Amino acid sequence: MTPNGNDSTIHEGRFLTYRETEAGWEYVTRTNAKGCVAILAVTDDKRVILVEQFRPPVGRRVIELPAGLAGDIPLQEDEPLLTAAKRELKEETGYVGKNWTMLSEGVSSAGMTDEFVTMFYATGLTKMTDGGGVGNEEIRVHYVHQSDVTKWCRDRQSEGLMVDFKIFAALHLSKSLTQSTESRLWY
């Protein structure tokens, strides 16, 4: 989203710009990306691929969907969202997907940022590399049967980890893709 032309910049960092509206509402916007993607990747044996990594803003490790930014690589600022999703899935988990569907898009925290997240559903997965992220991300990959995700995530929370709620949103949205949509009329 493009900020209102009347909004003023309070501070501009390497990755985020801190802005204020005429009415005094403060928010942040990304300076180095055009969007954010998250991927619900499900193996042929119905295992959801989740990632775990340390997130400095919350000071803990967080269980998440594989995710990342689109357009954040120099000379690739116009990177399509699907291309970014495919790149992020491979970087973080080592998998490539044969089948891709856009599940939904929406704001990540409408009161704090103008960032949009586009969620994709990937199936037909093939392991190509070790994954683990790039640079110093140190991403751990987890495989959780889709019927066990809620309990598994609660167990991780009881161990002190945080869980990103987008996992549950993506699972809910994917159900509409995998359930029969045939209507039956009884009359």
Q: Provide the CATH number for the domain around residue 141.
A: 3.90.79.10
Same domain, yes or no: 18 and 90: no
- 104 vs 52, 163, 166, CA distance in Å? 23, 20, 11
Which pLDDT score is estimated for 3? 54
Which tops the pLDDT comparison, 132 or 101?
A: 101
164 in any annotated domain: yes
Band (132; pLDDT cuts 50, 70, 90): confident
* Claim to verify: residue 138 and residue 46 sit in the same structural domain: yes
Domains identified in the chain, total number:
2
User: Distance between CA atoms of 30 and 51, rounded to whole angstroms?
Assistant: 23
User: Does residue 135 lie within any of the structural domains?
Assistant: yes
Per the domain annotation, does 181 fall within a domain?
A: no
Q: Is residue 163 in some structural domain?
A: yes
40 and 3 in a common domain: no
- The residue segments making up the domain with residue 82 are 34-176
Indicate the pTM of the whole model: 0.88
Q: Is 182 within the bounds of a domain?
A: no
In a domain, 183, yes or no: no
> Is 150 within the bounds of a domain?
yes
Task: Give 109 or 100, the one with higher predicted confidence.
Answer: 100
Whether residues 80 and 21 share a domain: the answer is no
Average pLDDT over residues 122-150: 93
Same domain, 7 and 24: yes
Least confident of 43-52, 87-96, 108-117, 177-186: 177-186
- Both 104 and 147 in a single domain? yes
Mean pLDDT score across all residues of the chain: 90
Evaluate whether 131 touches 139 at the Cβ level (below 8 Å): yes
Q: 71 and 93 in contact (C-beta within 8 Å)?
A: no
Mean pLDDT of 147-158: 97
Q: Which helix (H) or strand (E) holds 68?
A: strand 67-70
Same domain membership, residue 97 and residue 9? no
Q: Which pLDDT score, from 0 to 100, does residue 179 have?
A: 65
182 or 158: which leads in pLDDT: 158
22 and 39 share one domain: no
Q: Are residues 17 and 38 in the same domain?
A: no
pLDDT value at residue 186: 43
Q: Based on the domain organization, do 5 and 85 belong to the same domain?
A: no
Is position 185 within any domain? no
Closest CA to 44 of 6, 91, 99: 99
